[in-house]
Structure 1
Amino acid sequence: MSDLYKRVITGVIGILLIIFIIYLGLSAIKISIFILTLEAIRELHNAFMKKNIKLYLPTLLIGALATFLFSYYEIKLIYAVILFFIMNSICLIVSINYSIEEYMYTNFSYFYTVFLLNLLGNIDDIYLIIAAFIISFSTDTFAYFIGSMFGKHKLIERVSPNKSVEGAIGGTISAIIITSIYFIMLNRYNSSYFINLYSVIIILAASISGQFGDLFASKIKRYTGIKDYSKLLPGHGGILDRFDSLIFISPFVYLLYFFI
């Protein structure tokens, strides 16, 4: 079975699964995000182990659970961040084998894999959560195809040699158009959804940020010397390979929550 065939099959199954989870409602979405964060922690832990860097899993896992509960019961996530920081700092002080380097990497891993993803779960609007996936998938898909057809100028070759400037621009423009059409269609049924200049600017920023999220994940892979974060998703790699752009998009969709 070719890699492209695996990629397409996994993608189709993944989209159907996402649609089903969204159909089940916000609670299912929040639980699914919690599961994603656990797998993302595992993948990042395994990646850093290649550089002999150990993440402090007790605080990371407790922090992930606490953040999920705060999101589930609609408590501001800043309190979960404070709780994690205090807990992790106390562990650094009392634990003999917990180094400053591991502490810093653990703090980063919490922010990257737990907090940013849970911003989506903290949005009390399924249609905006759908918008995050639309921005992510449309940017990635059109950046790939436009880059394959017209890409001549490398974006950041030392990080990701296959990405082009033309693909990045095409992906962002496509995301703006498709996401705007999505909100225009929603507006026909609910007038609270509309597109204005602020919304377009945020969608633009989200799409660009998502592409940097992809590059950021690639930078970590190059640093740790791995090709994929895991083999969980045939043809795609791991959760961090597939949802790397969504992690960087989530803060902007969270902002969009206040502008639309």
Structure 2
Amino acid sequence: MPSVRHRKAKSPSPLESTSSASDCLIEGSKSDESGEMGTEPVVNEKERKKQAIIVRTIWTLIMLFFFFAIIGMGPFWIISTILLVQVAVFRELISITTTKASERDLRYTSYLNWYFLITTIFYLEGRSFLKYSLTYLIESDYTSEIAIKLAVHHKFICYCLYVMGFVGFVASLKKGYLRYQFTQLSVTHMILLMVILQGHCIVNNILHGMIWFLLPVGLVITNDIFAYICGITFGRTQLISISPKKTVEGFVGAWFCTILMSLLLTYIFCTNAYLICPFTNDLAVNCLSGIQCDPNPIFIHQIYRLPSYLSLLLKKDYIQLKPIYLHAVIISMFASLIAPFGGFFASGLKRALKIKDFGDAIPGHGGVTDRMDCQFLMGSFSYLYYETFISVHRLNIGNLLQTVIINLSGEEIIQLVKSLQSYLYKIGYIDEEVYTQLNKML
């Protein structure tokens, strides 16, 4: 009779017992009716993903609500939000690269980074702010000599501020950490160039008209959504190695859908004066202000002659079309073919730094940078495209007033006023009595 060998069960070590118990508590594993362990960890993984989707959806709706609310509040609040976003992105990016500064007793490194940020924002946005401030100060009963001096010497003041930062950086150099400090200076300037400068372009887009802000933003969001939908539906071929989940099918499908969405969004936006009128003199307007303007010619129907093959197909020789639709298609091409590479760039940077997200400011979405990686590139393109192909460079009161104050002396301004009075009298806009009284006052 063959002998039966009984294998002695190995008793778990105290550490293994504790680990097993902890795993049971964390995963919530339960024995089924047959006495075997169930597959509860899989269920919990599904629950975790479900919870993540719920959180992501809730915060998406919250962000959409605040986005549309700020759009309705007007350009002042939108620009303020853009500035806050720039600061948040700068903070997330710079914090990743300066984590070792405190450990190396380089306390001035962080201060210099923020000093360069403030100086850059003052240079890029300060002049526009002063221009609108001058219009307000002169129309009111109070005139600020400080504001006028800042406007006149703005560039020189900014240069002096930058030189002071440069001197401060050189003075803070510490032997043994020179490589690290010069690397930090380079990283800071790169972030300023890619975030703050391109953010300045977005601010200018808002001043040109709300549509030049909403259309690029909407197209980037559309492309991101349909790239995901088309990717999970048809995706088979990997697009780029640094983003394994991006597929060629999703990229092409998003390109097609973004073009269609550009036509729909343009149709919706171009009929609203609040969205197409530039904000030239007053940033305090909102969606209820009833703003009106002479629209840019691209928002007016124009007649185009069709090519012969289209004439035969449509049985028409001419077609009426607003040029804005053609411009929107071109902008959508950039949003779907080029702007996504801003996201690929961010993915590559995160892989290089071995981090999942740039931050955790937005639950379910990561940091602010994770949501803005494509928007900055899109904003700069939209600004340059507008200035190159669309802008009519109309003279407005704000620009004229700023030019007069900065470049003319008091006597020259009086002579200009007298010349304008004489012109108004000659064209019959003011009568002789008013003209005589105005001359006596001067």
Q: TM-score range by the shorter chain?
A: 0.7 to 0.9
Structure 2 CA distance, aligned partners of 1:138 and 1:87?
44
Distance in 2, matches of 1:34 and 1:242, equals 15
What are the equivalent positions in structure 2 for 1:94-113 lying under 5 Å apart? 94-97=171-174, 99-113=181-195
Q: Is residue 19 from structure 1 mapped to residue 68 from structure 2 by the alignment?
A: yes
- Partner residue in 2 for 1:69: 126
Q: Compare CA radii of gyration and give the structure with the larger one.
A: 2
- For the residues of structure 2 that align with 1:246 and 1:103, how far apart are their CA atoms? 25
Alignment match, 2:237: 153
Q: CA deviation at 1:239?
A: 0.4
Aligned in 2, Cα 1:89/1:200: closer, same or farther, shift over 3 Å? farther
Per-residue deviation at 1:212?
A: 0.6
Aligned 8 A contact 1:138 1:178 in 2: yes
Shift of 1:188: 4.3
Q: Does 1:45 align with 2:94?
A: yes
Aligned residues: 255
> Distance between the aligned counterparts of 2:165 and 2:232, measured in 1?
45
1:139 aligns to 2:223 (yes or no): yes
Aligned equivalents of 1:33, 1:71: Cα separation in 2: 15
2:189, 2:376 → 1: CA distance? Answer: 16
How has the CA–CA distance of structure 1 residues 20 and 74 changed in structure 2, closer, same or farther, with 3 Å as cutoff? Answer: farther
Identity of aligned residues (%): 26
Q: CA deviation at 1:70?
A: 4.0
Change (3 A) 1:189 1:109: closer
Q: Quick one: distance in 1 between partners of 2:225 and 2:100?
A: 32
**Counterparts in 2 of 1:110 and 1:189: CA distance versus 1, 3 Å:** closer
Deviation at 1:207, TM superposition (A): 2.9
Check 1:108–1:163 CA distance in 2 against 1; reply closer, same or farther (3 A cut): same
Match of 1:114 among 171, 192, 196: 196
Alignment-derived partner of residue 84 in structure 2: 35
Moved more, 173-182 or 241-250: 173-182
Task: Please give the alpha-carbon distance, in whole angstroms, between the structure 2 residues aligned to 1:171 and 1:87.
Answer: 47
1:234-259 Cα shifts (integer Å, max 9, x gaps): 11101000111111111122134333
Cα pair 1:71 1:122 within 8 Å, conserved: no
1:1-260 equivalent positions in 2, closer than 5 A: 2-49=51-98, 56-63=112-119, 65-66=121-122, 67-73=124-130, 83=159, 89-97=166-174, 99-123=181-205, 124=207, 125-157=209-241, 159-188=242-271, 192=296, 193=299, 194-195=323-324, 197-258=326-387, 259-260=389-390
Asked whether the equivalents of residues 266 and 325 of structure 2 are also in contact (C-alpha less than 8 Å), the reply is: no
Q: 1:72 to 1:29 in 2, by over 3 A?
A: farther
Distance 1:144 1:89 in 2: 45
Deviation, structure 1 residue 50: 5.9
Shift of 1:89: 3.9
Q: Which moved more, 1:47-56 or 1:161-170?
A: 47-56
- Is the 8 Å Cα contact of residues 89 and 195 (structure 2) preserved in structure 1? yes
Check 1:41–1:156 CA distance in 2 against 1; reply closer, same or farther (3 A cut): same
1:170 to partner: Cα distance: 1.8
Name the CA distance, whole Å, in 1 between partners of 2:383 and 2:252: 23
CA contact under 8 A between 1:92 and 1:100: conserved in structure 2?
A: no
Aligned-pair distance for 1:150? 0.7
The aligned amino acid for 1:102 is Q
Pair 33,168 (structure 1): closer, same or farther in 2 beyond 3 Å:
same
Deviates more, 1:88-97 or 1:18-27: 88-97
CA distance in 2, matches of 1:255, 1:37: 19
- 8 Å contact kept, 1:210–1:249: yes
Alignment partner of 1:227: what SS?
coil
Higher mean C-alpha deviation, range 44-53 or range 229-238: 44-53
Write the letter of the residue equivalent to 2:223.
T
- 5+ residue gaps, structure 1, are none
The one-character-per-residue Cα deviations of 1:209-234 (angstroms, maximum 9, x if unpaired) are: 32011111111111111101111111
Between the aligned partners of 2:253 and 2:162, the Cα distance in structure 1 is 40
Secondary structure of the 1:229 match is coil
